[in-house]
Amino acid sequence: MNSDHLLLAERVAFDGQPYPDPVPKSRLLLDALLKQLKQLRSADGDRTAFEAALATIDQLLRYEPPATALDAESEDAALFADELIRALTYRLVAANEFFKEDRGISGFDIGFELDRFDHAYDLVKQFQRTVRAYASRPFDAVLCDIDGVLRHWPSVEPIERANGVAPGTLYAAAFAPHRLLPVITGQVTDARWRTFVIEDLAGSAQLTAETARALVADWSALRPTADENAVALLELAREVVPVALVSNATDRLEADLTDAGLGNFTDNLVNSSRIGFAKPDPRVFAYAAERVGVPARRCLFVDDTEGHVEAARAAGMRAVHFREIADLDEALRPLFPLLRGSSY
């Protein structure tokens, strides 16, 4: 290609000069590119972005992955997508001029050459679709409760009955506010909390010390089951955005998650007993958003406790009250089309 080819290509790509006489086999693709050129955000283009886009197009034309992966989430992704169109137009116009001048002297197979342009255009269009999808997604991080959403504990009624205790007795003692708040804010350990529960059961519930210890031992031995559907949905979400688990829990949480095979499941774990405050304290939501590096207004919060959901909304988050797995599926659905996108 000579300088005249490139000068004409520049006039078409940057100045909007018509190009009425392409090689017939390239007409459809060139028409599509010229139509998009008219819709670009900047008619004048960005020279720095154009040069980077041109290098990328040249690699795609050689069926090579670009040296720098196409990042649909970057701040300038939309601008770069525009410049990819401009760069591909530039190269195609110049190629057309070469084809017309060469007229087969060099033995070029025009059909084969244009296949390279079709290949590059397909990848650019795919990148454009992914950029649009990211730009339209409603949130950039997922903050999810654990108990009642990701995992479920078995009922304690069987062990209460087995120990001759009326249903509801254990939780009345264990989850009394003066017992629960200190352990989920790290003021006392999980082990110490259970000791207090034994003492309370032997006192206010009028159980023998032996029965109270047996009941708490049986309770402590219970293990939750992970909700496979919830895990699968959050795993998909993690392919697109950071996911944090946010739980009012004791210092036993990390070990319990490891035992359940969920120790490495999340990008971030926010355990109330480690940070000193618990949901619905607004500091929990601010802390979790900071951990994932996303503003609160761009976070989705999911919890099975309505009061926590309301507190998250008050903190500026998009929030969903989890009642069944369909609630989580619906909340995360805007992310799933992005999984079909590609950064090449």
Position 337 scores a pLDDT of 75
Pick the most confident of 11-20, 32-41, 44-53, 139-148.
139-148
Q: Looking at domain 141-151+225-340, which of 3.40.50.300, 3.30.70.980, 1.20.120.1200, 3.40.50.1000 is its CATH number? A: 3.40.50.1000
Query: What is the pLDDT at residue 341?
Result: 45
Judged by average pLDDT, the poorest of 62-76, 109-123, 295-309 is 62-76
The mean per-residue pLDDT over the stretch 304-312 comes to 98
Is residue 43 over pLDDT 70? no
Least confident of 42-46, 125-129, 218-222, 328-332: 42-46
Note the helical H segments in 137-263. Answer: 157-162, 169-174, 177-184, 190-203, 209-221, 228-238, 253-259
For the cut 70, the answer to whether the pLDDT of residue 330 exceeds it is yes
Distance, in Å, from the CA atom of 97 to the CA atom of 26, rounded to the nearest integer, reads 12
Average pLDDT over residues 305-325: 97
Predicted local confidence at residue 112, as pLDDT: 87
Parallel, antiparallel or unpaired: strands 141-144 and 299-303: parallel
Q: Is the predicted pLDDT of residue 104 greater than 80, yes or no? A: no
Mean pLDDT value of segment 109-127: 92
Average pLDDT over residues 245-256: 96
pLDDT one-digit tens code per residue, 266-298: 769 999 999 999 999 999 999 999 999 999 999
Q: Evaluate if residue 107 carries a pLDDT over 70.
A: no
Cα separation, 265 vs 314, whole angstroms: 28
* Inter-CA distances, 300 with 93, 134, 212, 269, Å: 46, 15, 41, 15
Contacts 24+ apart (CB under 8 A), 320-323: 322/145, 322/148, 322/149
Residue 342's pLDDT is what? 40
* Residue ranges of domains in the chain: 3-136, 141-151+225-340, 155-221
pLDDT of residue 87: 96
Give the pLDDT confidence score for residue 227 in this predicted structure: 94
Give the model confidence (pLDDT) of 333-343 as tens digits.
988 876 654 43
At 165, the pLDDT band (50, 70, 90 cuts) reads very high
- Produce one character per residue of 145-166: b if its CB has 16 or more CB atoms within 10 Å, e if not: bbbebbbeeeebeebbeebebe
Across the chain, mean pLDDT equals 91
Q: Quote the pLDDT of residue 344.
A: 33
Q: pTM for the whole thing?
A: 0.69
Q: How far apart are CA 267 and CA 304, in angstroms?
A: 21
On the question of pLDDT at 185 being above 50, the answer is yes
Digit-coded pLDDT (tens) for 21-30: 899 999 999 9
pLDDT of residue 70: 84
Angle in degrees, CA 207, 159, 257, rounded to 5: 115
